[in-house]
Structure 1
Amino acid sequence: MNNNLDSNYCYSFPAVRGIQAGRPFYIATCPLRIIPKIFNFDEDEVPPELRAQRTLNKSRIPEMVRYLLDNPNDYVFSALTASIAVDVEFTEYSGSQNLGVLRVPMDAQILINDGQHRRKAIEEAIKEKPELGQDNIPVLFFVDEGLEKSQQMFADLNKYAVKPSPSLATLYDHRDQASELARKLASETKPFIGLTEMERSSISTLSNKLFTLSSIKQATRALLSKGPKDSYSEDEKKLATEYWYHVYLNMPDWEMAIEKKVSASHLRQEFIHSHGVGLHALGALGQCLLQNNALDWKKELLKLKKVDWRKTNPEWIQRTMLHGKLSKSLSSIQLTTNFLKIAFELPLTKEEKALEQQVKA
C-alpha cells in the first residue's frame, strides 16, 4: 500500500478493510450525491474486448429512477462494486486493525464493475429530488490490476447471479398491486386455496399443486385488462375473486382436486386447464365476457363444462402444444383463448381471425 499518494487532493471514506483471495478490499459508505461525480462508467463506443463492463441498457434506467422517486423513505439499493486504478491509502483508527479512513486521489479513475445501472439511476433521481443525495450507499472497493483482471471480476460477479422466480417475486413484492391481488386469491379463493405453488414458477411432476402464484397473477391481469404498473380498485378485486370462484364452480376436475378425489399431478399430466397457458386463456376469456354487457357472464361460464380439456384434443395439439409440449408463447395463449371464444360463440378480433387462418393453413 502506498502511503504517499501522488495527489494532495483525495476523497476520504470511512471504511472497513478485509482480505479476499489474498488481496485487500475496502467497504465504505458514500453519499448518493457524490456517486455520479466519482464513479465513472465508460459509455464510449469501444469494442467489448477493450471494456470491463457491458454497455449501459438505458431502457432499464427510467423504472429504477421511478422506484427511487416513489419510495424515498422505503427503497433498498445494494452495494456498488468498483475498481480503483491507482494505489490508495488506508489509515487505521487508533486501536483498530481494520477500521479506518480510505483515501483515494481525486484524479484516480474509479470504474464500476457491478452497479452501473444503479449509478445512472441515482444520478437521474437526484436531479428530480436533490434531498436523496443525503442518503448513503455501500461501496465495495478493489484496487485495479488491469483490464484483464477487471473483466474477470465482472464475469465472476455475474456468473452466479440468479433472478428470483416470478412466483417468488410475486410472493415478496408488497408494492405491486397485481402481486397483492394474486396472493389474496391464492390464500382466500377457490380453486387456488391449497393448490398454489407459492415459490416456484414451474411445478414438479409429482407435486400436489395445480397453479403457480405467477400464473394466477398473469391470468388475473388478463382478466382485468391491466398493465404491469396499473392499480386495482376494490370493485376490480372483488370482481376477480368472484370470476375465479365461478370458473371453479364449472370445472369439476378442480373441485375433485380440492376434495382430494383426484391427484393434482394426474390433472396436470392429462389436462391443459391445470397449466399456466390454460389459466391465462381463462382470464382472457373472462375479460371478453365481462366486457359484453349483453351477456350474463356467470351463466355463460356453464359452457366450460362442455369443453374437452384433455391434452389429446386435436384443438389443443395445434394451438397450445409445440413439439408435443405445452407452449407458453403469446401466440399459443392467444390461440388457446381463441378456441374458448369460439366455443362460447364470442366474436374474434381482426388479429385473432388472422391467427385462426394460420391454424387452418
Structure 2
Amino acid sequence: MNFSYSFPALRGIQAGREFYTVMCPLRLIPKIFLFDEEEIPAEHRAQRVMNRSRIPDITNYILENPKDYIFSSLTASVDGEMIFQEHSEELKDIGYLTISLDSKFLINDGQHRRAAIEEALKVFPELGEETISVVFFHDLGLVRSQQMFSDLNRHAVNTTSSIGILYDHRDQLSLITKALISDIPLLNRYTDREKVNLSKNSPKLFALNHIFNTNCRLLGKRKGEIISEQEKEFANQFWVLLCNTITEWQEVLNKKTSPRDLRVNSIVAHGVFLEAIGIIGYYLYFYHPDEWEKYVKKLKHIDWQRDNKEDWQGRAYSHTGRINKNNETVQLTANLIKKKIGLPLTEHEQKIEDKLKEASPLGT
C-alpha cells in the first residue's frame, strides 16, 4: 500500500475472526469515519439514523470537561485492505495495523460520539491530539454489518436515572440531592438510591430520582445549571421542614406504619405528591420568601388518604385508582394543595383547573 494509515495496534480473535484495537487521534475521527446516507431505506443501512438532538449534549460534555471527559471505544468495519505487522516473535499480537487510504470505514457503534467529537474540535482544535480507542473489524458486507449493530446493542442496558444521579459528581442538582438524602434521617433511611420505581412491598418510601425531580421543580433548575448558595440553603431548610411536617412520614420513621401500607393508603409516598410539593416550594420561594414556613406547616392538616376521592381522584390518581404521574397530574395535585393552604393559582394553573372542570361529567 503506497498510501495508508498506520496505527499501533493489538490483535485479538472473536468468533474465529481477527479484530484490532488501535489508538486513533481525535482529529482523524471526522475524516475517516462516514455514515450511511439518511435517505437510504433502513433495510439497506447498517446503522440507525442519527438523532442529531443528542449531539449538542455530548459536545458540551467534552467542552465543559476537557480535563475529565471519558469515552468508550468506537467500533468500526473496514471495507479495504488491512495488514497487521507483528512487533516480534514473542509479541505476535502487538504491532502496527496498516489500512489503505482508499478503504471505506463504517461505524457500527459510536456514531453520536463521532459527530460530537467533530463539533468539539471546531471549538477546541487542541483536542485533536488526544486519542480514542477504536476496534476495527473486516467489513464482510451489509448483512454482517447490520448483524454487528444488532449484536452490539442487543444486550445494552441503560442505567436507571437514579444510578445516573448517584454517580454524577459534577452536576450541582445531583450533589444537592445526595447531600440532602445523607443529612436528613428520614430521606437517608427511606430513599432507594438505585431504583426509579418502587415495588408495592419495597421497604423504602422514595426513589432517588423522585427527590432529584422534586428539587428540579423546587429550584426551577435543570440538570447542569448553576445553583446559588441561597438556593442551596433554601432547599435544605425546605426539606427539613417538609420531613418534619408530613405526619405520615414521621409515622414511618417512628415505626408506627410501614412504607408499604403508606404507599397503599396515601398519596404522600408517591412521586406525584413530591413533585407537586416542589412546584409549591418554588412559588413560595419567590412570592413568600419571608413566610414560606407557615404555608409548609399547613400541609400537616390536609387529608392525604387515597380514599379521599373527592380531592385526589382525577389528580394524583385516575378513576381506576392507579397513581398517575405526568406533568398534568403533578400540576393538578399542586393546584389543590395550593388552594388548601391559602395560595392563589397563577393564570396558567387556573387554565389547567378550568380544563379539568370542563372534562368533569358534572362540570365540577
Tell me if TM exceeds 0.5: yes
TM-score (norm 1): 0.95
Q: Which residue, 320, 324, 336 being the options, matches 2:321? A: 324
**Cα distance 1:294–1:275, how it changes in 2: closer, same or farther (>3 A)?**
closer
Q: State the AA in 1 paired with 2:266.
A: F
Q: State the SS of the aligned residue for 2:263.
A: helix
- For 1:316 and 1:20, the matched residues in 2 are separated by 58
Q: Which residue, 254, 259, 266 being the options, matches 1:259? A: 254
Q: State the AA in 2 paired with 1:93.
A: H
- For residue 121 of structure 1, report the CA deviation from its aligned partner: 0.8
Give the alignment of 1:13-32 within 5 angstroms: 13-32=7-26
Match for residue 346 of structure 2? 349
Match for residue 41 of structure 2? 47
| Native 8 Å contact 1:178 1:221 kept in 2 | yes
| Native 8 Å contact 1:32 1:122 kept in 2 | yes
Match for residue 127 of structure 2? 132
- For 1:10 and 1:105, the matched residues in 2 are separated by 4
- For 1:20 and 1:316, the matched residues in 2 are separated by 58
Match for residue 55 of structure 2? 61
Q: State the AA in 1 paired with 2:312.
A: W
Q: State the AA in 2 paired with 1:68.
A: I
Give the total of aligned pairs.
355
- For residue 191 of structure 1, report the CA deviation from its aligned partner: 3.2
**Cα distance 1:294–1:58, how it changes in 2: closer, same or farther (>3 A)?**
closer
More deviation, 177-186/33-42: 33-42
- For 2:264 and 2:5, the matched residues in 1 are separated by 62
More deviation, 297-306/180-189: 297-306
Match for residue 281 of structure 1? 276
- For 2:93 and 2:324, the matched residues in 1 are separated by 55
- For residue 87 of structure 1, report the CA deviation from its aligned partner: 3.7
- For 2:285 and 2:80, the matched residues in 1 are separated by 65
Q: State the AA in 1 paired with 2:228.
A: S
More deviation, 166-175/33-42: 33-42
Is 1:218 aligned to 2:193, yes or no? no
Is 1:359 aligned to 2:350, yes or no? no
Q: Deviations over 1:28-60 (max 9, x none)?
A: 110111111111112342111111111121111
Match for residue 76 of structure 1? 70
Structure 1: gaps of 5 or more residues: 1-6
| Native 8 Å contact 2:215 2:235 kept in 1 | yes
Q: State the SS of the aligned residue for 2:202.
A: coil
Structure 2: gaps of 5 or more residues: 360-364
Overall identity of the aligned pairs, in %: 46
- For residue 124 of structure 1, report the CA deviation from its aligned partner: 1.1
- For residue 228 of structure 1, report the CA deviation from its aligned partner: 2.5
| Native 8 Å contact 1:113 1:153 kept in 2 | yes
Q: State the AA in 1 paired with 2:55.
A: I
| Native 8 Å contact 1:190 1:248 kept in 2 | no
Match for residue 362 of structure 2? none
- For residue 302 of structure 1, report the CA deviation from its aligned partner: 2.3
Q: State the SS of the aligned residue for 2:2.
A: coil
- For 2:46 and 2:276, the matched residues in 1 are separated by 45
- For 2:321 and 2:142, the matched residues in 1 are separated by 48
- RMSD of the alignment, in Å? 1.4
| Native 8 Å contact 2:80 2:102 kept in 1 | no
Q: State the AA in 1 paired with 2:56.
A: P
- For 1:105 and 1:339, the matched residues in 2 are separated by 69
- For residue 206 of structure 1, report the CA deviation from its aligned partner: 2.1
- For 1:150 and 1:291, the matched residues in 2 are separated by 56
Is 1:272 aligned to 2:267, yes or no? yes
